Amino acid sequence: MTAAVHHQPVPPAEGDAAIHVREVRKSYGAHRAVDGVSLDVRHGEFFGLLGPNGAGKTTLVEIMEGLREADSGEVTVLGQSPWPRNTALLPRMGVQTQSSAFFVRQTAREHLVTVAALYRAGAAAADRSLETVGLGPQRDTLVENLSGGQRQRLAIASALVHGPELIFLDEPTAALDPQARRDLWEVLRTLKGEGRTIVYTTHHLDEAEALCDRVAILMAGRVRALDSPHELVSATGAPSRLMLPAGRLSPQKAAEIPGVDRASVQGGSLVLETAATGKVLQALDALTGLDGVMTRTATLEDVYLELTGAPAPDGTSAHHHPTEQKA
C-alpha cells in the first residue's frame, strides 16, 4: 500500500497518522518541486502548510490527494495509497476546488446536489452543507451570479458535502470579507471538534497561528520547520517589538539602551526590537515613562519571514525570496 518507486528503509507508518509522507520527491524536468519531504498528519489534527509561492505546497498536496504520482517515496492517506486513483479512499477525503469548478447554469443548491451525488450522498447532505457555509439564502442563485466570497464558500461546501474524515483546504479565506472569514474559522473549528483532520494551505499566518495545531513551513521543496505555532515562535528567538510614539526618543539614543537590537522609525512609531523585553521596558520607564508604549511579541509571521528570508542550510537558496520586510 505504498507509492514507493525505489525502496529505501523507512520506519513503519505510525498507527495514528492520517497522512504519512516519507522522502517524497517530485520533479518537473530539472525543477525539483518536492525534494524529499517527510511528515505525518495525525488523526484529528488541524495541519497548516505554509511557504512562499513555488515552494512545492500545491504539488505536495496534489500528491496527497492522489492527483499526482510521486517520483519516489512513500505516501499513505488514511492507511491507503492515494495513487493510482483510489475510489475506496476518495469518498473519505474532501478537497476544496477552485472557485470556478461549478456545473454551469446550475443554482448553488443544484451544483451541490450534483457534487453530493458524485460522492453518492443525497440531497439532504447538500442542504446541510449549504447551511454550514452560510449560503442558505443563495441556494437558488445561479452559480454564475454568486459573488467572489459566495463562490469560495460554495467551493468549500463542495469539499464538505459528503462528510469526509480528511479535508484539504487551499486558501479558503482568500476572497472573504473579515466577518465571513471569522465565520469560516468557526466552521473550521467545529469540523475539527467533530474529529475531522484538516490540511490547510494558506498565506495568512495569523490564520495558521489561530487555527492550526501544527504547521509545516515548506521552502524550495523541503520542510524547513514543522511544529506547533507556539513552539516555532518560542524556538526561533525572534525579537519582540516595543513601539512608542516617534519623537519621544531619538533612534540613536534608543539603540544605546542595553538589550535593544535595533531601533527604527516606522509609520509614526519608534520601533525597538529586543529579545529582553522586561529589561528594555524598565530602561524605557526610567527614560521616558511607559505612556503610549505598545509591545508586540513575535508571531508566526516573524518565524516565517526569518525562515523564508534566509538561505537553506545546505547552501542552496530559495527560488523565491519574499520581499525583505525587516526594519
Partner 1 sequence: MSAYTTLTAAGYRAAVRDKVTLFFTFAFPLIFLVVFGLIYSDQDVSETGRPYISYIAPGVMSWGVANAAVFAIAFTLMQWRRDDLLRLIRLTPTPVTSVLASRYVLALAIGLVQAVFFVAVSLLPLFGLSLDAQWPLTLPVLLAGITAFLAIGVIIGSRADSPESVAAMANCLMVPMAFLSGSFLPIDMMPSWLQTVAKVLPLYYFNDAASATLTGDGGLADIGVDCAAMAAFAVVFGVIGLKVFRWSNRT
Give the footprint of partner 1 on this chain (CB under 8 A). 65-67, 85, 87-88, 90-91, 93, 95, 97-98, 100-106, 110-111, 113-115, 117-120, 122-123, 158
Phi, psi of 144 (to 5 degrees): -65, -25
Task: Report in angstroms how near the CB of residue 94 gets to partner 1 at its nearest.
Answer: 9
Of residues 7 and 120, the one with the C-beta less far from partner 1: 120
Of residues 6 and 120, the one with the C-beta less far from partner 1: 120
Residues near 31 by Cβ (< 8 Å), separated by ≥ 6?
Answer: none
Of residues 2 and 114, the one with the C-beta less far from partner 1: 114
Looking only at the bridges linking them, the beta strands covering 72-77 and 17-28 are antiparallel
The residue count of the chain comes to 327
Of residues 68 and 224, the one with the C-beta less far from partner 1: 68
Task: Report in angstroms how near the CB of residue 20 gets to partner 1 at its nearest.
Answer: 20
**In contact, 109 and 127? CB cutoff 8 Å:** yes
Residues near 80 by Cβ (< 8 Å), separated by ≥ 6?
Answer: 1, 86, 88, 89
Of residues 60 and 307, the one with the C-beta less far from partner 1: 60
**In contact, 25 and 72? CB cutoff 8 Å:** yes
Task: Report in angstroms how near the CB of residue 119 gets to partner 1 at its nearest.
Answer: 5
Looking only at the bridges linking them, the beta strands covering 166-170 and 93-95 are parallel
Of residues 92 and 189, the one with the C-beta less far from partner 1: 92
**What is d(CA 53, CA 313) in angstroms, rounded to the nearest whole number?**
20
Task: Report in angstroms how near the CB of residue 146 gets to partner 1 at its nearest.
Answer: 14
Task: Report in angstroms how near the CB of residue 98 gets to partner 1 at its nearest.
Answer: 4
Task: Report in angstroms how near the CB of residue 133 gets to partner 1 at its nearest.
Answer: 16
